[in-house]
Amino acid sequence: MRPLVSCLAASLAAVLSAGALAEVHAFSMLNLSGEQEVPPSKSSGQGWLTATYDTTSRILTYSYNWTLSAGSTATMAHFHGPAVAGVSAPVVIDVQLGNLSNAGSAGGSVTLTAAQEADLLAGKWYFNLHSTSFPGGELRAQMIANTGQHGNSFAVNSGRAVLPNVGIPGFGVYDVEMQLSSVSPTITFTLIKADKRP
């Protein structure tokens, strides 16, 4: 459990600064589907993307999983933009798959520029997973903050932080509650609970 606690504490440390609340945008359990591709890929595959973006650090942290159409293998993944749903756009950020297979999961983090941040928060980014069966893209999810399937409010009340749908690469997706223990000399949290989502 210690590695999970460390990952969660690191995520929350990026969320809060000493004495101030960072603005965090959640992209929780966004559905990756072939229907969102342009044109639609007619893939029978599916997946989920979860991410948080901290406007103070400009760090986008993400995790995703996929199961592709039978016989299809993942080849690459990217964030694209600027584009609204139904429109294609060039690659903005390459994503490491780490697993070129029919099904898997991966994640990471990246620091954005001011222009990239503006497009992301305007809903003009999408995530695209490419495959052997659909080289142009098999699964896509438009990145609209705070619109995920399970709800994704972020709250800090009386030193307690609640983060739903936190994707931790290598561990899964959790609903997390933590208590702020101290802010000096560093921000310290105590894990109250972490409920793993099915």
CATH code where residue 47 lies: 2.60.40
Q: What is the pLDDT of residues 154-184, one digit of tens each?
A: 444 456 666 665 666 556 667 777 766 665 5
Q: What is the pLDDT of residues 13-63, one digit of tens each?
A: 544 443 344 578 888 778 899 999 999 999 999 998 988 888 889 999 998
- 126: in domain: yes
The domain in which residue 56 lies consists of 28-142
- 85: in domain: yes
- 102: in domain: yes
Q: What is the pLDDT of residues 48-104, one digit of tens each?
A: 898 888 888 999 999 898 999 999 999 999 999 999 999 999 999 999 887 789 999
Residue 120 CA to residue 129 CA, distance in Å, equals 18
Residue 88 CA to residue 101 CA, distance in Å, equals 25
DSSP letter for 35, please. G
Report the domain count for the chain: 1
Task: Spell out the alpha helix ranges (H) of the chain.
Answer: 2-15, 114-121
pTM for the structure as a whole: 0.66
